[in-house]
Amino acid sequence: MREKTVGLVAPLPPQVGGVAGFAEWLLAHEGDIGYRFEAFDLWRPPAGGAGGRLSLGSVAIQARVFPAFLRWLRRAPGVVHYSVSHTATGLTRDTLFLSALRMSRRRVVGHIHVIPEASATRAGTLRALDRLVDKWVTLAPSSVAALDRLGIDAEWIPNPIRISPNGQVPEPTDGPLRLLFVGRYGERKGCPELVDALALVRDSGADVTLRFVGREEYAGEEGALRRDVAARGLEDAVEFAGVLQGHDLATAYAASDALCLPSRREGGPLVVLEAMAFGLPVIATSVGGIPDFVDAENGLLVPPGDVRALADSIRSLAGDRALGSKLGGAGRERVARIARDETIAARWAEVYAEMGA
């Protein structure tokens, strides 16, 4: 029997972020899905920030990547799973790459994590890309609704769980409430507000610590956060742990009491589902696809940018550990229902088969 293959165009590990994490999951579950992936890496320098900001450096990166993409395209399968950006420069690149796929008569599954509704220019570009994409998939019901408002039909498949607890669960402690942030940190993720909220909570007498796992989203953002931490006298309460993967990341989840993700913009964050799988309560903002998975039964939602509401939510968990256990247990049950590997693998197999792969 001929081996079934699908092209995969995405940022690949060791790049950091939800899209790279999802690509890593796909490649690790080829057997479960029933397809082998011919992958092309939307590469960025390992030490660089996230894409999206126009610069001579970003132009130079694409000048290097596009010729390699054209070479890959000569042997690419007939169906390609393409990770669509939400940034201005990323969407410009995607227009070029997707046009090449269309000209080569490939069928394209456009997979988008964050819907750029707030920008008329980026939303318009996304509408234009609809002519180059055969099928759209996103991460949550709210993202389907956002695409529908742009005149784009889509279905949703939740992110899978990359990091399995394997019996690791948060251990009860009488010490400080241990907050965890995982991902690309910076302004878009609400990290300045998180530092401000931590300062308010500790000034009120609550014992709370914060651990950042990951790396800065854009150059200079870690330095700015470290300056904020120092200015508020939080050096002993905040740790920048760097990028952790696999067992080390699982250990970080298990050594925490709550995940805090106060993003200003989001899609359907993978780290939220991972934290829920570990039984962590989630404090997050009510943006993007977060409210599709986090509600009053398994977490605490706050408005984006609201430092006092964020501080109040942190303080409530610090003062009531039983509440955290209750929310975390409900989250673990929900993830077990919607984000099991076999369930998501089957959904993607259906998508590829529908496309003729």
Q: Are residues 284 and 314 in the same domain?
A: yes
Q: From CA 308, how far away is CA 201, in angstroms rounded?
A: 9
pTM for the whole thing? 0.79
Q: Are residues 21 and 149 in the same domain?
A: yes
Residue keyed to tokens 């790396």? 215
Q: Are residues 133 and 227 in the same domain?
A: no
What digits encode the pLDDT tens for the residues 206-259?
A: 999 999 999 998 889 999 999 999 999 999 999 999 999 888 999 999 999 999
Q: What is the helix (H) or strand (E) element at residue 3, kind and residue range?
A: none
What tokens appear for 269 in the block?
């964050």
**Cα atoms in the 13 Å half-sphere on the side-chain side of 257:** 23
The confidence score (pLDDT) of residue 220 equals 93
Q: Are residues 37 and 134 in the same domain?
A: yes
Domain that holds residue 66: 5-160+340-354
Query: Which residue pairs, CB below 8 angstroms and at least 24 apart, start in 269-274?
Result: 269/18, 269/159, 269/183, 270/18, 270/21, 270/22, 270/159, 270/160, 270/162, 271/18, 271/182, 271/183, 273/158, 273/159, 273/160, 273/161, 273/335, 273/339, 274/161, 274/162, 274/163, 274/182
The confidence score (pLDDT) of residue 352 equals 98
What DSSP designation does 2 have? P
- From 10-19, 128-137, 147-156, 214-223, the region with the lowest mean pLDDT: 10-19
**In the structure, what pLDDT confidence band is assigned to residue 166 with cuts at 50, 70 and 90?**
low
**Is the pLDDT at 314 greater than 90, yes or no?**
yes
Q: Is residue 91 in a domain? A: yes
CATH number at residue 31: 3.40.50.2000
Q: How far apart are the first and last CA of the chain?
A: 14
Q: What is the mean pLDDT of the chain?
A: 91
Q: Are residues 85 and 214 in the same domain?
A: no
Q: Are residues 72 and 195 in the same domain?
A: no
**In the structure, what pLDDT confidence band is assigned to residue 88 with cuts at 50, 70 and 90?**
confident
What digits encode the pLDDT tens for the residues 30-84?
A: 999 999 999 999 976 655 444 455 555 555 666 788 999 999 999 999 999 999 9
Count of C-beta atoms within a 10 Å radius of residue 59: 11
The confidence score (pLDDT) of residue 31 equals 95
Q: Are residues 154 and 284 in the same domain?
A: no
Count of structural domains within the chain: 2
Residues in contact with 102: Cβ distance below 8 Å, sequence separation at least 6, in sequence order:
108, 132
Q: Are residues 211 and 261 in the same domain?
A: yes
